């Protein structure tokens, strides 16, 4: 597995010295190797504890300039213990090979309590614990019971176990996801039974505290789990019908079908260019003619859906198994940063993709719930139309990438080409083609 080396700046919060080891008369920062594509803060916290027996809390991570290589993590010590191989060293005693001038400036800003975010301050976790204790009535005495998952840039996510064994989750979001705080608070008011129980909010940190609500579903949920998720999502969506303006004000994306339709030409134009730039030979690029044909099929799908009397509702838009939590008795949804308003059957289709073996069971649950509002013919038509549109809507996302004057990252082009191929396959579905011919 590919890893990245992190130089760890482990700071004592009171003396502001940094832990280091000595080699050939020079001070060096502790180093850990972290697998790529993992939760960096969590892995660093675990690696430092495993290698040196130290409890830390990561404040920031960043990649160093190419000329230096590697990456840095700033963390504060949570306990006074000292690893036998490390010593206290003032920051200014490190050579430029360990800390270049720009990195030293970051540390000095941190020491002077002028970091880029209040969640980078050395003492913020102490303040957070005091706040959590006041909000929950519990105590959090052990530093070993703080498990980090995310950190940096105004973001933070960690799980804390209280001394009585109760678990809580702390989450804070920065740009561009500051709206997640607002929309989570709104949804906890509108439909609290479908989200982790909200315990407290901290507006100046854009943060909230929730009770532990169970574990994520498996990557391929069982039929029972998928059916439960479909039932809960359908009922949650009922609570949001007629709340469109409130959801938009909270930061939800506008993915109503007419909005998606109006951007089809722009998306197809981008895909034509992305296919032309393809260098990989693993899959043949879709032709310009086929992409133009896909655009017309998408327009036809949108017009058919717009003619159906389906009310707009909340769409999760990041409906993977990790964002569906279950404690065996209850099931809730978390991580609402990509929340949108649109056709609710798009969520049904995304749930179906979690385990295609049980897709029909999930669709039947939606049929049962929506039969209270819609005719069987309308429901069946929506279920046939939405698989293609769900893929397109996923590519559209927030729509903020459309018309950008800067060149999008090559990784995005690869991602877009992959989704275009999924759309191509969905557009060949015989049930869809038959419906569009009528």
Full-model pTM: 0.90
Same CATH fold assignment for domains 3-120 and 124-211:
no
Quote the CATH superfamily of domain 3-120: Nucleoside Triphosphate Pyrophosphohydrolase (3.90.79.10)
pLDDT digits (tens, 9 = 90+) for 134-148: 999 999 988 789 999
Residue 352, pLDDT score: 96
Three-class SS string for the chain?
CCEEEEEEEEECCCCCCEEEEEECCEEECCEEEEECCCCHHHHHHHHHHHHHCCCEEEEEEEECCCCCCCEEEEEEECCCCCCCCCEEECHHHCCCCCCCHHHHHHHHHHHCCCCCCHHHCCCHHHHHHHHHHHHHCCCCCCHHHEEEEEEECCEEEEEEECCCCCEEEEEECCCCCCHHHHHHHHHHHHCHHHCCCEEEEEHHHCEEEEECCCEECCCCCCHHHHHHHHHHHHHHHHHHCCCHHHHHHCCCEEECHHHHHHCHHHHHHHHHHHHHCCCCCCCCCCCHHHHHHHHHHHHHHHHHHHCCCCCCEEECCCCCHHHEEECCCCEEECCCCCCEEECCHHHHHHHHCCCHHHHHHHHHHHHHHHCCCCCHHHHHHHHHHHHHHHHHHHHHCCCCCCCCCCCCCHHHHHHHHHHHHHHHHHHCCHHHHHHHHC
Share of the chain above pLDDT 70, in %: 92
Domain extent listing, the chain: 3-120, 124-211, 215-437
What pLDDT was estimated at residue 281? Answer: 84
251-259 average pLDDT score: 97
For 124-211, which CATH class? Answer: alpha beta
Residue-wise pLDDT tens digits, 344-385: 999 999 999 999 999 999 999 999 999 999 999 999 999 999
- What CATH homologous superfamily does 215-437 map to? Aminoglycoside phosphotransferase (APH), C-terminal lobe (3.90.1200.10)
- Average pLDDT for 200-214: 96
Indicate the pLDDT class of residue 429, thresholds 50, 70 and 90. very high
């Amino acid at each position: 597995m590919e890893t990245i080396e992190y130089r760890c700046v482990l700071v004592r919060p009171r003396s502001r010295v940094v832990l280091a080891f000595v080699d050939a008369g020079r001070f060096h920062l502790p180093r850990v190797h972290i697998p790529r594509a993992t939760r960096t803060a969590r892995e660093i916290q675990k690696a430092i504890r495993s290698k040196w027996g130290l409890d830390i809390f990561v404040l920031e991570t960043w990649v160093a300039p190419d000329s230096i290589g590697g990456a840095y993590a700033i963390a504060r010590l949570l306990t006074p213990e000292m690893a036998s191989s490390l010593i206290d060293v003032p920051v200014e005693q490190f050579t430029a090979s360990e800390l270049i001038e720009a990195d030293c400036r970051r540390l000095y800003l941190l020491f002077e309590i002028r970091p880029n975010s209040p969640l980078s301050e050395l003492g913020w976790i102490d303040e957070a614990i005091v706040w959590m204790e006041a909000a929950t009535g519990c105590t959090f005495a052990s530093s070993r019971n703080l498990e980090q998952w995310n950190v940096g840039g105004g973001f933070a996510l960690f799980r804390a176990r209280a001394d009585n064994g109760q678990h809580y989750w702390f989450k804070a979001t920065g740009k561009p996801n500051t709206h997640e705080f607002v929309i989570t608070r709104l949804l906890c008011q509108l439909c609290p039974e479908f989200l982790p129980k909200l315990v407290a909010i901290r507006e100046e940190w854009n943060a909230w505290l929730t009770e532990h609500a169970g574990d994520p579903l498996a990557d391929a949920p069982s039929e029972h789990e998928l059916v439960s998720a479909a039932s809960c999502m359908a009922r949650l969506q009922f609570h949001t019908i007629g709340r469109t303006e409130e959801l938009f004000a909270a930061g939800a994306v506008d993915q109503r079908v007419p909005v998606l339709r109006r951007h089809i030409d722009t998306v197809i134009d981008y895909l034509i260019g992305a296919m032309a730039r393809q260098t990989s030979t693993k899959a043949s690029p879709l032709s310009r003619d086929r992409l133009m044909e896909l655009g017309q099929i998408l327009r036809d799908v949108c017009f058919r859906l717009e003619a159906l009397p389906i009310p707009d509702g909340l769409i999760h838009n990041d409906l993977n198994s990790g964002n569906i939590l279950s404690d065996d008795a209850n099931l809730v949804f978390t991580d609402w940063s990509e929340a949108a308003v649109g056709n609710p059957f798009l969520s049904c289709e995304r749930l179906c993709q979690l385990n295609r073996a049980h897709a029909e069971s999930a669709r039947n649950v939606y049929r049962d719930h929506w039969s209270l509002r819609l005719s069987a013919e309308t429901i069946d038509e929506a279920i046939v139309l939405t698989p293609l549109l769900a893929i397109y809507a996923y590519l559209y996302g927030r729509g903020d990438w459309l018309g950008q004057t800067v060149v999008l990252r090559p990784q995005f082009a690869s991602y877009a080409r992959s989704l275009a191929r999924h759309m191509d396959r969905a557009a060949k579905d015989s049930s869809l083609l038959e419906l569009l011919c009528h």
